[in-house]
A and B are shown apart, each in its own frame.
Chain A
Amino acid sequence: MRSRRIILLFASMTGLLIAWQLLIIFGDFPRFILPSPGDVLKRFLEIVRDGSLYRHLLTTLKEVLLGLTLGVSVATVLGYLIAKSRWMERLLSPYIVASQSVPMVAIAPLLVIWFGPGMLSKVLIAALIVVFPVLVNTVVGVRAVPEDLHALMRSLQATRWQTLRLLEIPAALPVFLGGLRVGATLAVIGAVVGEFVGADSGLGFLINVGRGLYDTALVFVAVFVLISMALVLYGTVVLLEARLLTWQRRSGD
């Protein structure tokens, strides 16, 4: 099952590369419009060698991870409060829904003006974009805890903390992790949006530089590295799910 999936993935990627190369051969595009796979690889090795890729990757990764941590923490706490209290829901949900109707690209410049072009503004943008899906899933997950299991915990005179630890967290975890999957990939987008607005390092900054110099191969490299980062983050959450939710998996999977 597993090796078959890997073969399929490998085959489709090879197919794409061949199609790309054929496009270069028969399309006769100038290199600044569409570089060949070889050009991109060459550019990749160049910036690996001079250490700049590592520096930009590290900047973006830090922003993403810090933003994700911050966003998930805020979303989990708020989500729990909203799920447990009608009053909190009435107070907070108008703001949360309103915040979703404003596109992040519109707020990003403000945050860069307020918090400077450094890392902080990117972390905040990534966090803001992560909050919504994680919050919504936290609310749904906590609300879906079966009423009879709550009654069971009450019949045992469980404390609030015991109910949280023994019932609510494990019961809400599958839905919560679904939100985290989305959040993890959105955090990458958030960091890059922030870097586009104003930054002096990071993969988003690298894309901006490459665009300015018509160094299209560099743009490709940065985009591929970003995709890989998002995939690794997503994969980490999937692994986490497989680890934590063994009880959900059917024996046939």
Chain B
Amino acid sequence: MHPPRAKSEPILDIQNLSAVFSDGNGDLRALDDLTFSVQKQEFLCVIGPSGCGKSTLLRILAGLLPPTQGNVSFRNEPLVGPRRGVGFVFQNANLMPWRSVFENIALPLEVIDTPRSQIQPRVQELVELVGLQGFESWLPRDLSGGMAQRVAIARALVHDPDVLLLDEPFGALDALTREQMGYELLRVAVHASGGRTRRKTIVMVTHAITEAIFLADRVLVLSPRPGRIRMDVPIELPRPREERVRYTPEFGELAHRLREAIG
């Protein structure tokens, strides 16, 4: 059942999860009875139509929102709030406009009280990993969308979390930059195993089918609101994945199946 590269050991376990928002006009059910788990070092993409509660799901997994019903456990313990073992990448880069590239990436280290002497080399390492050498002192307003999102990814990885949650991280980028960022993400978080960087567990929300197939070990398709799991598809394309894989029959077949499932 599980994709070959992921160890069969759940790091996130979601049981009968529902999310209901109340406003003046009554209740809005965003997510309905989701049960699934995310394996250690797995790359899971969640796709679905707009407004199916994908972002809500991700925020619940980050501990930023409490579930209305059901349970989420992180490493076999109930998730009650945000955890430092989790890095979050927001829809827009969500950088602090008064902080330079370097300072934005350093933020998580400052919050977890890393000694100053260790911040400098670690941030530099991340700057190089996402290819922003020479831009350390730039301010967010001077960055292109792709560069800003690289900073956001570096910031999410700087404190070396086990889990990376990405909420439509490339939604605001043009198609070419978007593909480029997909490769980058695979390079920094998946392929760069061994050495200091362990392979991350990744949950990424997107509405782009081909992006999901290209990146993920497994794709979860959600139905329109209220979000339910429509399909749970393992992607058994070989890694490391290259551009070529996009034009194989298997890829096309998967894209077709997922497109049908979304409806």
B21 at the interface (CB under 8 A from A): no
Q: How far is the CA of A162 from the CA of B92 in the complex (A)?
A: 23
Is A155 in contact with B97, judged by CB distance below 8 angstroms? no
A170 at the interface (CB under 8 A from B): yes
A151 partner residues in chain B, CB cutoff 8 A: 59, 64, 88, 90
Could you tell me which residues of chain A, from 212 to 253, have a CB within 8 Å of some CB in chain B?
A: 245, 247-248
Is A148 in contact with B96, judged by CB distance below 8 angstroms? no
Could you tell me which residues of chain B, from 111 to 129, have a CB within 8 Å of some CB in chain A?
A: 111-112
Could you tell me which residues of chain B, from 48 to 88, have a CB within 8 Å of some CB in chain A?
A: 59, 62-64, 81-84, 86, 88
B229 at the interface (CB under 8 A from A): no
Q: How many interface residues does chain B have, given as a range?
A: 20 to 34
| Contact flags A141-176 to B (C-beta < 8 A → 1, else 0) | 000001011011111111000100011001101000
Contact of B84 among A153, A156, A167, A248 (CB under 8 A): A156
B64 partner residues in chain A, CB cutoff 8 A: 151, 154-155
Known contacts A157-B84, A167-B96; A152/B90 CB under 8 A: yes
Is A155 in contact with B62, judged by CB distance below 8 angstroms? yes
Is B97 in contact with A162, judged by CB distance below 8 angstroms? no
B84 partner residues in chain A, CB cutoff 8 A: 156-157
Is A156 in contact with B82, judged by CB distance below 8 angstroms? yes
Is B96 in contact with A155, judged by CB distance below 8 angstroms? no
Known contacts A155-B88, A157-B82; A149/B111 CB under 8 A: no
Is B139 in contact with A158, judged by CB distance below 8 angstroms? no
Closest to A247 in B: B98
Q: How far is the CA of A151 from the CA of B86 in the complex (A)?
A: 13
| Contact flags B106-150 to A (C-beta < 8 A → 1, else 0) | 011011100000000000000000000000000101000000000
B94 at the interface (CB under 8 A from A): yes
B99 partner residues in chain A, CB cutoff 8 A: 247
CB distance from A173 to the nearest CB of B (A): 8
B96 partner residues in chain A, CB cutoff 8 A: 149, 167, 170-171
CB distance from B91 to the nearest CB of A (A): 8
Closest to A150 in B: B64
B63 partner residues in chain A, CB cutoff 8 A: 155
Q: How far is the CA of A149 from the CA of B96 in the complex (A)?
A: 8
Contact of B90 among A148, A153, A245 (CB under 8 A): A148
Known contacts A152-B88, A155-B88; A162/B94 CB under 8 A: no
Closest to A244 in B: B98
Which residues of B line the A interface, CB within 8 A?
A: 59, 62-64, 81-84, 86, 88, 90-92, 94, 96-99, 107-108, 110-112, 139, 141, 159
In the complex, given contacts A151-B64, A171-B98, A247-B139, what are 8 additional A-B residue pairs having Cβ atoms less than 8 angstroms apart? A146-B94, A151-B90, A155-B64, A155-B82, A156-B84, A162-B111, A248-B97, A248-B98
In the A-B complex, the 3 residue pairs with the closest CB atoms? A247-B98, A156-B111, A155-B88
